[in-house]
Amino acid sequence: MYDSTLRKHCLGFVELLAQGIALISPTMTAALIIPVMYGNTGDWSWLSYATGTVMLVFVAFNLNQFARRSTTAGSMYLYICRGLGLTAGAIGGWSLIWAYLGISMAGVTGFSIFADKLLEMAGLHLPFSLLFAICVGAAWFCAWKNVQLSAMLMLLLEGASMLLIAILCVVTLAQHGFKIDHAQFDTSSLPLSGLGLGVVVAIFSLVGFECCTAFGEEARDPLVTIPKAVVWSLVISGGFFVFVSYVMVMATHGSDPALDKIDAPLNVMASLAHLSVLQAPLSFGAMVSFFALCLSCINAGSRVLFAMGRHGLFHEKTADSHETNATPHVAVTILAAVAFIVPAVCVAVAGLAPLDLFNYVGTLAAFGFIVPYIMITIAAPAYLKKISELRGVDLAVCGIALVLLMIPTVGSVYPVPDAPMCYFPYLFLVYLAVGAAWILFVGFRKPANAIMIREQIGTLLPTAQRAG
């Protein structure tokens, strides 16, 4: 059906798992977000991460109803199409592109923040715009050249960083005699009001686990490896967050400043553990982890753009694949360009501090994930009903996931955050409205596209259903 194809069967379970973990970026949370969590939930930070992980596991169960049955490039976009129709699917894909772009910019700014710290240790300084260019340029080349190379590089970078953080945590526990920190289990100090906000932070830390579904054409044995990678990337990252937040809170009890006022918590932990020698390696690990985050987002987002371009929702060139590399090189280049231009303009022209920009783009991106998570949760039982496989337990899983997803949805807007974040939901809604208008316009101008998409969806239904 299509002239442009991607490299087949080049990603196994390990590479897909690397994509998911790199996009969640456990190092990002350990390096910059746990202090924010502590500001909301105090000693119960670990519980918020545990709760958030359980919530998204229910979303993953709904997502895997599709992933176990069919797969293609940019799968989550097509999954929503199968359950809720073409317009809903296109809006879900439009939202995912926003999300991946936002998190890629968080990766760029995070990379530059820690690169600047390392350069400062060496008595050097480079403009942030140049650091942005280095990060995006390297990520673009890896994504343009070879998706398997990209996946293995992300596995090595994020894996090494997580291992270093885990070693620091184990040493810290050993210095505390591996004793249980009873303060973190004292129910009298459980902040019920803050726990809801903490779960919001946890959800935002964990978004991105679904990106494995975007590599359906490139995965080996995709109906098995993709669902496994979706769940395990979430479980591994969530478990890591619970462990690191528990140890970090224990290590900084009674410190001045308190954990929620610390902007480099891993370095502070290393200092408290009398391991200042680890500060530079930890900063380097964080830097390369943020690079892996940027690369993962460009890889995943380009597959969604590629799939939507195939269906005429974007310029036909976005559906081109490189003749030699078999990568969606035009889509990769577009996402990389935006990931550089927006941060460069915000810092160089608007004068935003890189850390503020990191917080802003990460928050904005989170809205882009929540919408397709809700849509895929609703789409799952609708799809199962179409193929006559809907069970009561499937409806129960859908209902639980929807109820749980309301926590981060409501928590994003209430209590009303301070400016400028109070305006972010409306900015995202404008983006969604523009996308919906464009999608409807394309559907009106090119009605044949809808027929073509429905034909493709039909070829991806389970075999028995197609025969029926």
Give the pLDDT confidence of 58-112 residue by residue, as tens digits.
999 999 999 998 877 667 898 999 899 889 999 999 999 999 999 999 999 999 9
Which segment of 44-58, 146-160, 298-312, 447-461 scores lowest on mean pLDDT? 447-461
Give the pLDDT confidence of 163-207 residue by residue, as tens digits.
999 999 999 999 999 999 999 998 887 776 667 778 878 887 898
What pLDDT score does 4 carry?
61
Residue 451: CB atoms within 10 Å? 10
Q: How confident is the model at residue 458 (pLDDT cuts 50, 70, 90)?
A: low
Which segment of 66-75, 84-93, 212-221, 332-341 scores lowest on mean pLDDT? 66-75
What is d(CA 325, CA 240) in angstroms, rounded to the nearest whole number? 35
Q: Nearest-CA neighbor of 216 among 74, 329, 382? A: 74
List the structure tokens of 446: 């090119």
Amino acid at 198: G
Indicate the SS3 state at residue 419.
coil
* Per-domain boundaries in the chain: 15-467
Indicate the SS3 state at residue 330.
helix
What is d(CA 47, CA 462) in angstroms, rounded to the nearest whole number? 39
- The answer to whether 255 touches 246, Cβ cutoff 8 Å, is no
Fold (CATH) for 15-467: Amino acid/polyamine transporter I (1.20.1740)
Indicate the SS3 state at residue 215.
strand
